[in-house]
Amino acid sequence: MQHSAANGRIKVAILGSGNIGTDLMYKLLKEPGSMELALVAGIDPQSEGLERARSLGIPASTESIHAVLADPEIRIVFDATSAKAHMRHARLLREAGKIAIDLTPAARGPYVVPPVNLGAHLDQVNVNLITCGGQATIPLVYAVSRVTPVRYAEMVSTVASASAGPGTRQNIDEFTYTTARGLEALGGAREGKAIIILNPASPPIMMRNTVYVVPEGDFDFQQVAASVEQMVSDVQRYVPGYLLKNPPVVEMRETPWGRSAVIVMLLEVRGAGDYLPTYAGNLDIMTAAARRVGELFAAHLLSSKEAVA
């Protein structure tokens, strides 16, 4: 395999060979852009993800982070393990001079949601993609807050139990905390709350999200609706299955702040089916966002090299 300097691409690695890591592998192979997938690393010798990588001619290792650190030419690492594991990986990757794109809720670096702040943290060595629920719902909350102040935002994310692997289940507590903080830090809400439900229905359901937004005082509903419509279009550029089931509606409800107007949005995310079933939109939106963010970092690294040259 040629080095990145020779073929105009940046070498990247995927850390974690579970559902998310494997789906991301297929996305990077389908649309490599400025990236060259040089390694998939995990810990399980029986991992289907590692076996699939080898069958596609991608180097695979059960040495996890150690295999990634052993290749000095790998510049970007997508961490698709768990929040607890990334706590350890973050320091090691930073010391090795590698950029970490964190797909766990560990949040060791600043939050990134592509249509909200893509490109804002190109000077960082670790960025966090929050959670699947965050990637799905923060754009909608931000779409409201950019036209009117938001007092409170709440998201309820319902995903198929079959799409929640061991890593996702280990991250449930971190999911609720990190997503709520993301609704505030990026979404623009003064206060945020996140709830996740694993639905065991058979056949499995699509990822569905309900978003409640309480604006501060009066607002122009037409401006809100137009902003949300534009945001949905922006997300669909990299997640085609991102679908607002109905236009936003306003309901008068009793809230902790008195009787208030509440903007309600219903969202469905259908996966692209690159590796996972289409019902696993919760995983698909994470891997699609990771590829989008990784491509920007890779292009930035290449442009920096050209500037030096």
Active-site residue identified among 10, 76, 113, 132 = 132
CB within 8 Å of 98: residues ≥ 6 apart: 68, 74, 75, 76, 77, 125
User: 126 a known binding residue?
Assistant: no
Q: Is 223 known to sit in a ligand binding site?
A: no
Assess whether 246 carries a catalytic annotation: no
164 is in an annotated binding site: yes
Annotated ligand binding at 8? The verdict is: no
- Is 83 part of any known ligand binding site? no
Q: Is 65 annotated as a binding residue?
A: no
19 is in an annotated binding site: yes
Known binder of ligand: residue 117? no
273 is in an annotated binding site: no
282 is in an annotated binding site: yes
The binding site consists of 17-20, 163-171, 282
The annotation places the binding site for NAD(+) at 17-20, 163-171, 282
User: Which residues are identified as catalytic?
Assistant: 132
